[in-house]
Amino acid sequence: MAIRIDRIKVNRGGPLASDFELEPGDLNLIYGHNETGKTYIVETMINLLFRTGSRSPAKWNLREWDLGGRIIVSGLKDDPVPLTKTGRKLEDYWEEGAGLPRDLSRLLVVKAGETVLAGGEEDGVGRGILKNCLSGEGLLDKIAARISGTLQEATVQDHMIGGAQRGEVKTKIQCKERLDSLNALLRDVEEGYASGEAYSLRKRKEAIEAQLKKLEKAKRYHAAQLHKEIQALRRKKGELPAEEELSKLEADVRIHESRKKETETKSARLKELEGTSENYRWTEKALGDYSEIISKQAVSGPKPILILFALLFFVGVVVTGFLGLNISLVICGIGALAFFIFYYMGMRNALARAGESSELESLKADFSSRFGSELTNRAVLQAKLEKLKENHIRATSLREEVDKLTLETNSRKSSIMETLKAFTGAERPQQQWRDLIRELRNSIKQLEDKIHSLDRKLLSLAVPEGEYLEKHPGTEWDAERYDNLECELKGTEEALDREMKKLELLKTRIAQETGSKSTEWENLITELRNMLEEAAEKYRDITAEILAKIQVKTAIQEFREEENTRIADGLKRQELTKPLYALTGRYHRIRQEDDGGLVLMTVEDEEYHLADISTGAREQIYLALRMGFASIAMEGQTAFLILDDAFQHSDWDRRKNIIAHTLSLVKNGWQVFYFAMDDHIRDLFLDAGRVLGDSFRRLELC
């Protein structure tokens, strides 16, 4: 793709009175006398198009203009790109991908009639131009220039880089020493922290903590199971009687047994006393019978005194009757009658007692039979009655007590049996009552003991109820193992702490080496590894760079051996010989001397050193070489030429040939900008440009 300038705008400044604007054609003639701004426009275009500072491949020697403007160039990208004073330059685009030499600007611009290609060279061309344009050696020189003198002398033997210990070689050695130092430090870390005793202890600690974590879950699950078991036991205990109920029941049984025993004792005593009561009733009757019999026996005959009194009172009756004492008579009569009656009755009783003697004997015999003693008198019988009366009274009272006790005992028995039935679900005989109470108390005691034991176990687990685990974790709780692991963990942590103290010095070394402010091992090791990787990468890079540059140096050396051949072949190319002959009309070949100078050959095979040719002829040759080298550098592509009075030193006859050749370049696709102040050259361009029609632009500066 052709590189063309599509539009030019140069802001007014310096001697330029107004803005310069141009939409260029193929051939562009800008004419102006001195002080009209022609040079200002040329230098502005150079500033806008090319690098002009320290990075510039050409020495432009430009004036310090306060310039500005804009140039639109096509052929660099898919779309035209603007070039400004502070923007990117053509060299930037060429370096990106166009593949054009950086110093192409020296071929595209002839500034102020300076037609030489390389200043300071005897022939005005120099070997640098030849190498750049004809052999590619210029590029090799640029590459070689980037290879230090140290590496120019360095060698590679047996996979080892040899050379003076300076520059890149010294840097490589320092990088290797740095890398070895970091590797040694990392080995110390790996042996001490990452894989040594501390590492083993740390891994052991992690393993123990993992086991403890599993056992913690097992403990939480075990606590949940204990809690459930305790709740179940408490519910079971709740179904059994309380101790107060058992104590009351036990007291009832004890009272029942006591009352029953008391009833039995009193019943036995009552049974004894009931025989005494019968004797009492007999004795009471016998006493009456005995008294009656004895009474009758006491009056078995009439007493003489009674009849005596009766006679006396009878005499009194007779006497008082004679005396007429009525009252005394009555009293004596009554007395005589009474005593007579008493006497009469005594007589009757005496007759009755005669039949009761056998009855008394029978009574005595019965007494003797009952009591085992003889009935001698009434007093014995009376004493016995008194004694039996006391037992009779006691039996009556005892019978009441027995009846009351029997009622109470039966009632308590029913209550006890009902209570036991409620507790056990079945009626139990009295002989099993105490055993049942004992069994119930034992059951309660066992439940309480078990609940207490489980409570202690649950309390010892120290697991809050909110942390109970319902799902089995897959590991059984083992308190002994847990305690052993905790002891082992404590010992491991203590050993690890001792090891970590030993590693503090190593940590300090790492922190100093890495410049890290972190105190965490993982961070320090990460930074050490990163630094090691950076050092390794730097060592690889410097080694690769050294090896690459040594290889490039070797390749350049091999390539340079063919340099003269390539330059000689390049000087024979038509891109050079054709414009050379067209412009000079005499020289049609060119070659290079061993010393590097150029020699021109005529049609007659005469040879002339370029340095010895006249100034006018030399300028024609420079222009021809510039155009030829530019064509070769563009490799068949076309670009633009900026010619600032490039032909002014040529004689008038040669000017026509030069302009004719310039016109042929335009026809072959080149874009030409010629800045002229010479009227003759202007007129020649005006005549030549007519054949181009609209492709020819002319602009006159005022």
For the chain, what is the domain count?
2
Of the pLDDT bands very low, low, confident and very high (cuts 50, 70, 90), residue 685 is very high
Of the pLDDT bands very low, low, confident and very high (cuts 50, 70, 90), residue 116 is low
For residues 358 and 297, the answer to whether their CB atoms sit within 8 Å is: no
Please state, in angstroms and rounded to a whole number, the distance separating the CA atoms of residues 483 and 489. Answer: 10
DSSP-derived secondary structure letter, 11? -
pLDDT in tens, 605-636: 888 887 888 777 777 777 777 777 777 777 76
CA dihedral (163, 166, 167, 169) positive or negative = positive
Residue 578 lies in a domain: yes
Q: Give the closest residue to 306 by CA, choosing from 348, 346, 351.
A: 346
* pLDDT at site 129: 59
What is the mean predicted confidence (pLDDT) over 206-215?
Answer: 90
For residues 575 and 152, the answer to whether their CB atoms sit within 8 Å is: no
494 or 284, which is more confident? 494
**Could you tell me the CA-to-CA distances from 10 to 5, 13, 90, 112, 472 in Å, in that order?**
13, 9, 18, 18, 89
Indicate whether 359 pLDDT > 70: yes
The radius of gyration computed from the CA coordinates of the chain, to the nearest angstrom, equals 79
Q: Which of 132-146, 541-555, 642-656 is modeled with the greatest confidence? A: 642-656
Indicate whether 654 pLDDT > 90: no
* pLDDT at site 183: 83
State the DSSP H helix or E strand holding residue 242, giving kind and residue range, or none if neither. none
261 or 25, which is more confident? 25
Residue 24 lies in a domain: yes
What is the mean predicted confidence (pLDDT) over 650-667?
Answer: 83
Residue 530 lies in a domain: no
**Residues in CB range of 589: below 8 A, 6 or more apart:** 571, 572, 577, 600, 601
For residues 506 and 191, the answer to whether their CB atoms sit within 8 Å is: no
* pLDDT at site 62: 83
Domain containing 649 — which CATH number? 3.40.50.300
689 or 632, which is more confident? 689
Which two three-digit tokens encode residue 82? 């603007």
What is the mean predicted confidence (pLDDT) over 385-392?
Answer: 71
* pLDDT at site 133: 59
Mean pLDDT, the chain, rounded, equals: 78
Residue 200 lies in a domain: no
Residue 418 lies in a domain: yes
Domain with 276, as residue range(s), is 243-300+354-422
Which two three-digit tokens encode residue 84? 């400004």
Indicate whether 542 pLDDT > 90: no
Q: Which residue has the tokens 């004997």?
A: 361
Please state, in angstroms and rounded to a whole number, the distance separating the CA atoms of residues 103 and 90. Answer: 10
Indicate whether 407 pLDDT > 50: yes
Residue 277 lies in a domain: yes
Q: Which string of DSSP letters, residue by residue, matches 151-177? A: HHH-EEETTEEES-SSHHHHHHHHHHH
Residue 104 lies in a domain: yes
Indicate whether 28 pLDDT > 90: yes
* pLDDT at site 124: 47
What is the mean predicted confidence (pLDDT) over 253-269?
Answer: 79
β-bridge partners, 700: 31
- E strands, 263-302, are none
CA atoms within 13 A on the CB side of 600: 26
* pLDDT at site 118: 58
Q: Which of 294-303, 331-340, 402-411, 464-473 is modeled with the greatest confidence? A: 464-473
Indicate whether 81 pLDDT > 90: yes
My answer on whether 275 and 408 are in the same domain is: yes
My answer on whether 247 and 382 are in the same domain is: yes
What is the mean predicted confidence (pLDDT) over 495-502?
Answer: 80
* pLDDT at site 555: 65
Residue 511 lies in a domain: no
Q: First vs last Cα of the chain: how many Å apart? A: 36
pLDDT in tens, 592-603: 776 667 888 888
For residues 45 and 28, the answer to whether their CB atoms sit within 8 Å is: no
Residue that is last in its domain, among 407, 422, 437 = 422
**Residues in CB range of 52: below 8 A, 6 or more apart:** 46, 60, 62
Please state, in angstroms and rounded to a whole number, the distance separating the CA atoms of residues 184 and 191. Answer: 10
Would you call 67 exposed, middle or buried from its count of C-beta atoms within 10 A (0-12, 13-18, 19+)? Answer: buried
Say what the pTM is. Answer: 0.44
Reduced to 3 states (helix: H, G, I; strand: E, B; else coil), residue 632 is: helix
* pLDDT at site 69: 93
Percent of the chain having pLDDT more than 90?
12
pLDDT in tens, 429-463: 877 777 887 887 888 888 888 989 988 988 888 88
